[in-house]
Amino acid sequence: MTTSLFFLLIPPAIAAVLAILVRPYTRLVGWVSVVCAAISFAASVALGAAVVNAGVPDDLVALSALWRVDALSALLAVCIAFVTLLASALGPGLDAAGEAPAQSRQFRIFMNAFAFTMLVAVTIQNVALMWVAIEATTITSAMVIPLTRTKASVEASWKYILICSVGIALAFAGTVLAYFDFVATAGEVPGALNWTVLRESARLLHPQLLQTAFAFILIGYGTKAGLAPMHTWLPDAHSEAPSPISAMMSGVLLAVALYAIARWKAVVDAAVNPWFTNSLLLGFGLLSVTIGAFSLVIQRHYKRMLAYSSVEHMGLVAIGLALGPLGTFAALLHVVNHAVAKSMSFLLAGRILHRYDTTEIGRVTGLLRVMPWTGSLFAVGILALVGLPPFGLFVSEFLLIRAAILAGRFWVAGVVLVLLLTVFASLITHLNRMLYGEMPSGVEIGETRSWPVVALALSVGLLIVLGVTLPQPISMLISQSVRGVIR
Amino acid sequence: MPSGNLGLVVMVLGYGAGAGLSLLAPSDRAARVLTAIGAAIGCIGGLIAASSVLVTRVPVDATFGSLVSAAGGVAIHLDPLGAFFLLLVALVGLPAAVYGVTYTSEYEGRHSLRLFGLMFNGFLLGMSLVPCAANIFTFLFAWELMAITSYFLVMTESQYAETRYAGLWYAVMTHFGFLVLLPMFLIMAPGSGATAFADLRTHAALMSGSAKSVVFLLAMVAFGSKAGLVPLHVWLPRAHPAAPSHVSALMSGVMIKLGVYGVLRVVVDFLGAGPAWWGGLVLAAGSISALSGVLYALTENDLKRLLAYSSVENVGVIFLGIGAGLVLQSYGLHTLALVGFGAALLHTLNHAFFKALLFLATGNVLHEAHTRNMERMGGLIKGMPQTAALFLIGSAAAAALPPLNGFASEWMVFQALLSGVQIPQPDVAIGAPLAIGVLALTSGLAAACFVKAFGISFLAMPRSEEAARARESHWSSRAVMGVLAAGCVGLGLAAPRIFDGLFRIAGSLFAAGSSASPPAVGRLWLAAPNGVAQVSPLLIAVAAALAIGVPVALLRWRGLQWRRADTWGCGRIQQTARMEYTSSAFAEPLRRVFSELYRPTEDLTINVHPDSRYFIRSITYTSAVVPWIERAFYDPVARGMRACATQVRRLQGGSVHLYLLYLSGALMAALVAAWWFR
Amino acid sequence: MIRYVAVLLQTLVAMALAPGLVGFIRWLKARLQGRRGAAPWQPYFELRKLFGKEAVISHTASWIFTATPFVLFGTSVLVASVVPLIIAPAGRFLIGDLFATVYLLLLGTFFLALAGLDTGSPFGGMGASREMTVVALTEPTVALSIVALALNAGSTSFSQIVSHTLAQPSAALGPGHLLAFAALFIVTLAETGRLPVDNPSTHLELTMIHEAMILEYSGPYLALIEWGAALKLLVFLALAANLFMPWGIALWLSPAAIAIGLLSFVAKLGVLAVAIAVLETRVAKLRLFRVPELLSASFVLALLAVMSTFLVR
Amino acid sequence: MIADPLSQLVMLGSSGMLLTALIVLWRKGIPAYVTAYRWQSWLLAAITATVGYYGHDPQLYWVAAVLLALKGIAIPALLATMQRRFGAEREATPYVNTETSLAIAGALVLFAYVIARPWMTITTLPTRQGLPLALALLFVSLLIVVSRKKAMTQVIGFLMLENAIALLAAVGTYGVPLLVEFGVFLDALMGFLVMQIFVYHIHETFDTIDVEELTRLRH
């Protein structure tokens, strides 16, 4: 347990440090960081297996006063490590005639640091330190956005750092308030900020103060999770960042922020009527889905398109969290599926951008004939993102609607379905425009560096596996996490 | 292993192999052949499974609970009704697959035949699995497999912007249906979270009337959009022409019928008898679809669009049968109700045959004439006599002319509607004669429509070079069309036996029905309920053969001498194709009669000689039919969506201050909420 | 067996009578218009002459053109053998009911229209288009009048309708019955190409419907078509006669009954023929686009027939 | 109660911090902002130390020391260098003019009191009077970030936001555990450094630090 946690966290740190120390940059560093990512992915899987075997719903594999891995942490850790591995393997700085070494170095440093901070965020059990880690993710990821410094990237990085810092600061204010509540009612206790302790003693806490705290926390982490109306940084940052980073941000960073919200929700629900947190989450979730959906209708850039679809999906997850056990199950499953599908789509978008040298949908035509494999995989990614079978997101959206109807919230189901149709219509329109039509002149035909395609094809396979046979370990992991979050 | 399960295994393996192998095929040619072989094996498997169930009446069951256990696992249950539709898939799929081998040869090098093979087999697999599905997840899975693959099949000839547009319409409409399907099933699902169809059936019995009605309405919308009921038919006349012809044959012959399957399964099987207005609604929908379908078909000059609209019409006829059944059932007249359902099933089967035949024949025509526009065809009967003859059989069947199969099923629908007058309440019963009037008008118009379809494109003088040069297609495609044509005749003559079987299938849907016995008299007679009227297609055929054959024989015996001459041209020496009656001219009278529906836009510009207005240089006349039904329903939606989108776009204004303002606003709102909530 | 023979015989009788009926109407019209006109049996001579002549077939025509006359004639004969003329055999011995009859007639029209298009002459196309329009618009009327009858008799088979009407004569004079009769009579005029829908004696291309379609026919083919058309007229009149006033029709096969049946049949035909002749001398042909109004009027009549039947039920 | 020196001092300090924030709303020159921030950080350090003294919590002395070093000296110095680098760019016309923003600030302070009133009942800490002030400071610094156009001003606003939270911690809970405290310091420093880098980027690519220019990415 402890060892696997060690091997989960340390390799990215090593890779980052190595990238800092070794200069000028050499390909070796890149490969080392790939290997490290692989190791930590293996470790995360081991961790997940251990948790499943331990089988205890929530009680917890506390490793020390500081670290703690339960099902939810393991789930997130697996996602993070997986996407990191993809990003690291397909990122710049691996082949000889690669990009500018300075850029590669910057990328390797902060990509690994980024991964490290995310992994820490999901495995640490002190809510304040969790906050520290999440704030750190902002800093590390922000440093990679202006990898190639253009006006756009600078603007995007400024908006990202400013909005997210302000938001995350609010989350800390919420944390402090909750702590204040705890200290005021329960007095000084060692490990009072460990959220298990918080949750155990939540019944004593002063409900209204806790509600205020949750308001701060929801807005704060919600900013990071891209919930509307705090999502505004997201399309800019995700579209300007280098594709591997976009993949990590969109695929898992948002999920990490929602992880924090889920943890706090568990605490607050123990003290106040869950109706409060549920309705807040429902409200922001529906708003996100709405804004995400309608921003997709008239969208000119495919990376921004993917970004808005992330907003929409995070909204769905938030709604799921508000819909009781089944909804939470659907939400967590959706997090996993979305991590795979969205990271894949962003990496493919990177290949398309590299070939067509434009992010405009209107100028990317005849993709299926220019890059047959990339094109078809991209199509698969989009079709998965709109929630069609046989891909995983269909299952999770199906469960989400079912949860809504079982919870008697028919109007939620109705609204979500209408919005999903809007999303489908717009995405399929854009996809249609990109895949078919005349090939623009001056674009070379055929695939280059085909092995990334293979890697991405694997994640397509994963998506199908998730959709057709939701594997037992994963569903067990998720249902354990549900029991950990919902009391 | 019972033959049923064996058949299913063979089916799945066949389609799977076809998909996989054609994807990995070494050459385009190999891809074509492998596609067909896999599909054929799959169809044969489906044939085995379906017929074993239909013969032994023992349903086939199989469950794979481990797959997606979270969503209820994958479950298969093939009962007679499902078997009938599985049979439909296989019966049309087999000819289509064989036909495709030669038809897709022209795609070599232009489109990816590997992808096509994958999608084609996936499409067949999806369609075959829909009637086998025994729980919500499996059904939706198969349903969407069918939808996605058919989307890519429609997009095959993506070089045309028109095709891409059609694909868009198709995708959106089909997904709309899918998203309506979800709540429909989930409302029926019991709170325990069980999703097996058996549980749905039991739970539906406990549901309140209003909940049942909601499910019914959702089912009508969801399955109606697949079946192409007006006004949800918009994708049909776009997608069918765009798709390759044998795919159109499958879509029109089988896929839209799965909408019929859905309605029968959910409304008749799960919900059971409902209030009379359900049936009334179905009758209304059927009447509107039948009438407007055939009317739009009449004014079409695009041969495939014409056939697509005719599919809308036939689906309308099918729903007339179902509607009659529902109304009668709601009054407890179960035997009569079964006649309605049986008639619907019979017409489903018959339409599958003649529409597939027509689309395949059209495929040959397209291949030769290189256009779908009838006004550039003509005289094809000289170049391709056999295709012409086959198309004629199809048209006659579509016009419900005896003794072909279309006649048998429409006669049964007539009788089913007629028995509606036996409903005790006159104010309800009066609906039956009205529906009969609609159906009669529809069949008359259908006859006119297919006179036009055949006469304009195959008869008289060719209107274009290509049409003049048209030659017969590959023998294999003619062979499969021959099989389908034989089916059209055979199903017509054997209608009494078949209807007997379909009646029992419909009877298996509800308890009261299983005891009822079909009104068929012997094997020769197609009989109305209570035997108040009979008709024997076989005898009609024999008598007609006599009545036509004897005069022929007599004239031959007397010997009639004849000679060739030019068509009389009112004194003109030379008849040219320009002087022939065109497709639009043929439809003109009816277009005037129904101008209320068509709202035709006409524009006549006469370019006269500068010296005297009596010397006319050129006359240009353009006229178009306004599809106002579509406009009325879909334009507002599109406009609303765009409006919302433009509003939402404003939010992302670009100013970081604005964004921070949102953030602060959200914070304040949340704080106030937290402050209020006690 | 004997019944089959009887049916065959009465069909032959109908075939024999048909040209006479046409001739009689022409003769009577001529008389009413103050002309002497040709003798009623003139059509027989015409048929004989036509059968003797050689046929001229257009270069553009295909086998559809040559097959059509036989189909048209055959279907007419078939229908003649189905409907009750002199004797009304019980249901089992007939191959179909009213609906089947309608569709059989439609089969003939279908081929006739195709033949009209086949020669590529603009007149043929014109005729075909107009014919199909008229036929399509008559269908609902026919169907509804059938329903009106069926509502009374509880069946759509001839024998039952006939026997039912005979059983209770009062129904024959009921409003439903009369309205349905009126509707069916209008349909008869439309289907058989009489005034005011079509003018059987014109050869002005722009006004004609039936004649335009058969413009290209000659010799034996034309003979078959003319004969078939005449038979169709006879069948329609027989329907109008026997379904609404079946008195005198032979229900069993005794010589006396058959004799009475034959006489009453001829009498009824005569009456209806006179009616048509009078009508055709009185009214002018309608403009083509006024025809739908007439047909919709007939549809309304049929609808009223059904309604009233419901009311009296 | 009133006699309690701790609550007196805390009230005084908190009010002073709020005042410095209001000064930022009122003045126009960036140097003035930097000074205001420096003062605020010193006040924060002082409050922390006082709380530590009366709460007999030696840890807080360390915290106060780091506060002073980091926020009271280092960061203001860096800000000053930035300001010198960019020259005296004045905060031109903000989105809301001075009067209005002061009025809004007043409203926010009121709102803070409304929100924070219930909390006063649950604790008996003598420092609880500082809670609403801390919240008010938080809101006001939000207002600064929202309504001021220069990137630097926004950075200062953000820093003040952090101060507000630190104040909240100090008066509410006598400070959070030391580990957290230092984690937060680390983040604050890193965050500030990154922001500083980005401000330089902005200045190089747009040759202004007016955020107004940054509206290229939209929709």
Task: Give every CB contact of residue C147 below 8 A, 6+ residues apart in sequence.
Answer: B418, B421, B433, B436, C302, C306
pLDDT tens per residue, range B636-676: 999 999 999 999 998 998 889 999 999 999 999 999 999 88
Residues of A (72-101) whose Cβ lies below 8 Å from B: none
pLDDT at C14: 93
Tokens of C29: 């019209």
Q: What is the mean predicted confidence (pLDDT) over B34-59?
A: 93
Of A147-151, C92-96, D25-29, the range with the lowest mean pLDDT is C92-96
Q: Cβ of D184 under 8 Å from any chain A Cβ? A: yes
* 3-class secondary-structure state, position B73: coil
Q: Cβ of D142 under 8 Å from any chain B Cβ? A: yes
pLDDT at A189: 73
Spell out which residues of chain B touch residue A388, defining contact as CB-CB under 8 Å: 144, 147-148
CB contact under 8 A, B653 and D216: no
Residue of B nearest to C127 (CA): B586
Residue of B nearest to A212 (CA): B674
Q: What is the mean predicted confidence (pLDDT) over B431-444?
A: 92
pLDDT tens per residue, range B102-147: 999 988 877 888 889 999 999 999 999 999 999 898 999 899 999 9
pLDDT greater than 50 at residue B410: yes
Bridge partner list, B535: B526
pLDDT at B460: 87
pLDDT tens per residue, range A95-115: 766 568 888 999 999 999 999
pLDDT greater than 90 at residue A345: yes
Q: Which of D166, D13, D156, D135 is nearest to D76 (CA)?
A: D156
CB contact under 8 A, B585 and C125: yes
CA B660 to CA B668: how far, in whole Å?
12
pLDDT greater than 90 at residue B262: yes
Residue C232 structural domain: 2-312
Q: Cβ of B26 under 8 Å from any chain A Cβ? A: no
Tokens of B317: 């006829």
Q: Strand C55-58 vs strand B562-565: parallel, antiparallel, or unpaired?
A: parallel
Share of chain B above pLDDT 70, in %: 97
CA C75 to CA C235: how far, in whole Å?
11
pLDDT greater than 90 at residue A261: yes
CB contact under 8 A, D187 and A149: no
pLDDT tens per residue, range D184-204: 998 999 999 999 999 999 888
pLDDT greater than 50 at residue D1: no
Total of domains in chain C: 1
pLDDT tens per residue, range A417-462: 999 999 999 999 999 999 988 888 888 888 877 788 888 999 999 9
Q: Cβ of D187 under 8 Å from any chain A Cβ? A: yes
CB contact under 8 A, C75 and B439: no
pLDDT at D90: 66
pLDDT at B456: 93
Question: Are the CB atoms for B499 and B346 separated by under 8 Å?
Answer: yes
Q: What is the mean predicted confidence (pLDDT) over B457-467?
A: 90
- Mutate which: A148, A165, A204, vs D, most D CBs within 10 A: A165
Chains meeting B at 3+ CB pairs closer than 8 A? A, C, D
Q: What is the mean predicted confidence (pLDDT) over D81-107?
A: 82
Helices (H), B370-469: 380-383, 385-398, 405-418, 426-429, 431-458, 465-469
Spell out which residues of chain C touch residue B430, defining contact as CB-CB under 8 Å: 306-307, 310
Q: Cβ of B130 under 8 Å from any chain A Cβ? A: no
Residue among D123, D184, D191 minimizing CB distance to A165? D191
Tokens of B620: 């240009």
- Mutate which: A163, A180, A300, vs D, most D CBs within 10 A: A180
pLDDT at B192: 73
Q: What is the DSSP letter of C286?
A: P
Q: How confident is the model at residue A86 (pLDDT cuts 50, 70, 90)?
A: very high
Spell out which residues of chain B touch residue A381, defining contact as CB-CB under 8 Å: none
Q: Strand A68-69 vs strand B562-565: parallel, antiparallel, or unpaired?
A: unpaired
Residue among B649, B654, B661 minimizing CB distance to D146? B661
Q: What is the DSSP letter of B617?
A: E
pLDDT at A164: 95
CB contact under 8 A, D205 and A166: no
CB contact under 8 A, B400 and C126: no
CB contact under 8 A, D214 and A149: no
CB contact under 8 A, B660 and A399: no
Share of chain A above pLDDT 90, in %: 67
Residues of C (151-190) whose Cβ lies below 8 Å from B: 151, 154-157, 160
CB contact under 8 A, A219 and B663: yes
Residue C88's Cβ-side half-sphere holds a number of Cα atoms within 13 Å equal to 27
Q: Å from B237 to nearest chain A CA?
A: 19
Task: Give every CB contact of residue A131 below 8 A, 6+ residues apart in sequence.
Answer: A168, A171, A172, A175, A260
CB contact under 8 A, D180 and A154: no
Cβ neighbours around B570 below 10 Å, total: 10
Q: Please, what is the angle between helix A392-406 and helix A410-435, to 10°?
A: 160
Spell out which residues of chain B touch residue C135, defining contact as CB-CB under 8 Å: 444, 447-448
CA D155 to CA D144: how far, in whole Å?
10
CB contact under 8 A, C78 and B575: no
CA A120 to CA D181: how far, in whole Å?
17
pLDDT tens per residue, range A385-418: 999 888 999 989 999 999 999 888 999 999 999 9
Of B10-19, B484-493, B611-620, C72-81, the range with the lowest mean pLDDT is B611-620
pLDDT at C313: 60
pLDDT at D6: 86
How far is residue B577 from each of residues B377, B459, B617, C170, D110, measured CA to CA in Å? Answer: 10, 11, 20, 59, 89
Q: Which of A396, A338, A319, A45 is nearest to B70 (CA)?
A: A396
Give ∠ CA D203-D209-D212 in degrees, rounded to 5.
125
Query: What does pLDDT average to over chain A?
Result: 90
Spans of chain C below 50 pLDDT: 93
Bridge partner list, C58: B565
pLDDT tens per residue, range D42-77: 999 999 999 988 888 888 899 999 999 999 999 999
Spell out which residues of chain B touch residue C303, defining contact as CB-CB under 8 Å: 433, 437
Task: Tell me which of A471 and B87 has the higher pLDDT.
Answer: B87
Q: What is the DSSP letter of B620?
A: E
Q: What is the mean predicted confidence (pLDDT) over B314-335?
A: 93
Residues of A (358-397) whose Cβ lies below 8 Å from B: 368, 372, 376, 383, 386, 388-390, 394-395
Q: Å from D115 to nearest chain B CA?
A: 7
**DSSP for C36-65?**
----TTHHHHHHHHHHHSPEEEETT--HHH
Please indicate whether chains D and A are in contact, defined as at least 3 beta carbon pairs under 8 Å: yes
Q: What is the DSSP letter of B254?
A: I
Spell out which residues of chain D touch residue A128, defining contact as CB-CB under 8 Å: 176-177, 180, 183-184
Q: Does the bond joining B403 to the residue before it have cis omega, within 30 degrees of 0?
A: yes
Residue of D nearest to A179 (CA): D173
pLDDT at A182: 87
Q: What is the dihedral of CA C86, C89, C94, C99, to 10 degrees?
A: 70
How far is residue B615 from each of residues B100, B609, D103, measured CA to CA in Å? Answer: 53, 5, 84
